Amino acid sequence: MIRKSPVCIAAVLIVSFISLTSAESPLKTNLPEPGQCGNVIKNRIKGDNVTKLDEYPWMALIEYAKEDGNSTGHRCSGNLINNRYVLTVAHCINGIPKTWKPYRVRLGEWDTTTDPDCDRDTQNNSEVCADPHVDVTIEKVTVHEKYNSSLKSQPNNIALIRLSRNVDYTDFIRPICLPLKDTLKQSTFDGNKMEVSGWRQLGRKTSSNIKLKAEVPVVPLSECQSVYSKHNVDLGTSHICSGNDFCRSESGGPLMGLDSLNKDQLYYYIAGLFSIAPSSCELEGWPNVYTKVSDYVDWIEQNIEA
pLDDT at 98 over 80: yes
Domain boundaries, the chain: 10-303
Q: Which of 47, 218, 241, 264 is nearest to 153 (CA)?
A: 241
Mean per-residue pLDDT, 13-30: 42
CB 196 within 8 A of CB 252: no
Which residues on neighbouring strands pair with residue 44, listed in sequence order? none
Q: Which of 262, 258, 259, 223 is nearest to 240 (CA)?
A: 223
Q: How far apart are CA 241 and CA 205, in angstroms?
A: 21
- Class of 10-303 per CATH? mainly beta
Residues 52-71 have pLDDT tens digits of: 999 999 999 999 999 988 99
Mean per-residue pLDDT, 276-303: 86
pLDDT at 282 over 90: no
Given pLDDT bands bounded at 50, 70 and 90, which one contains residue 4?
Answer: very low
Enter the pTM of the model: 0.88
CB 86 within 8 A of CB 95: no
Burial class (CB in 10 A: 0-12, 13-18, 19+), 101: middle
Does the N-terminal peptide bond of residue 34 adopt cis geometry, omega within 30 degrees of 0?
A: no
Amino acid at site 281: C
pLDDT at 17 over 50: no
